Structure 1
Amino acid sequence: MQLSLSTRTIEGIIIVDCAGRLVFGDESGALRETVKKLMPAYKQIVLNMKGVMYIDSGGLGTLISLYSSVRAGGGEMKLASLSAKTLELLSITKLLTVFDIRDTETDAVLSFAKSAGTH
């Protein structure tokens, strides 16, 4: 199943809904292009991974690259609603501590308000 992407905003935060497989090639390229186009207008980005069933090394590399790009641009990117399989993959690759991972999209959106209040 190819990766399908859609975007929407909640309280000024952009949500990128991802469904399918995040793999090297067109899928990871589509995610990269989508997020990079959003970066100038949005500093708070949530990747809703609820529909992602499989991630390969190329997909992981894309997530790391996007996270770094968003941070370098003064923004924040959070991952939400990861499957147990994806969480296990991030644990094995020691990336759980790199990403800001939230159980649900709502948790991710609310966490932006909390982090803004602490600065």
Structure 2
Amino acid sequence: MKTESTVSNGILHVRLTGDLIGSPDTQQLLQSVDDHLGESVMLCAVDLSGVRYINSTGIGVLVSLLTKFRSRGGELVLINPADHPRKMLALTKLNAIFTIAENETAAAEVLKSAS
């Protein structure tokens, strides 16, 4: 899995590509998010359009990220999950817990209205 993260307009944008299956990469992702939370970033948009496959560990990482932001009064939005991640979110009924936006613009609108 490859992770890219940037902060703009108070929103942490995380773009994931590859397989979200739990590995040293997921620990790096969680640490990167923790670092940004230390900078008082309260809003996060996670782009899942490049994630081919996700397993239960990957789902756990997403839930952990959501918990990190919501426990601090923030919010997290998933952007355009690819086919398999979208199916896994529906299968686990987490699509009712996560806010899902179709693109970055829609995600930014949701996040700004939540803050």
State whether TM-score is above 0.5. yes
TM-score, normalised via structure 1 length: 0.87
Question: After the TM superposition, which residues 39-50 of structure 1 pair with which residues of structure 2 at under 5 Å, given as runs?
Answer: 39-41=37-39, 42-50=41-49
In the other structure, the counterpart of 2:71 is 72
Q: Counterpart in 2 of 1:14?
A: 12
Q: Distance in 1 between matches of 2:46 and 2:87?
A: 18
- Partner Cα distance (1:113, 1:63) in 2: 20
Q: RMSD of aligned C-alpha atoms?
A: 1.4
Counterpart-to-counterpart distance in 2, 1:13 and 1:109: 8
In the comparison of the two structures, how many residue pairs are matched? 114
What is the deviation of 1:100?
Answer: 1.1
Structure 1: gaps (5+ residues)? none
Output the CA distance in 2 between the equivalents of 1:88 and 1:106.
Answer: 23
Q: CA deviation at 1:60?
A: 0.6
Q: Percent identity?
A: 27
Paired residue type of 2:59? L
Cα offset, 1:89, TM superposition? 0.8
* Large movers: runs of 4+ above 6 Å: none
Give the drift of 1:38: 1.1
CA contact (8 A) 2:21 2:55 kept: yes
Query: What is the TM-score of this pair, normalised by structure 2?
Result: 0.90
Query: What aligned pairs does 1:49-60 form with structure 2 within 5 A after superposition?
Result: 49-60=48-59
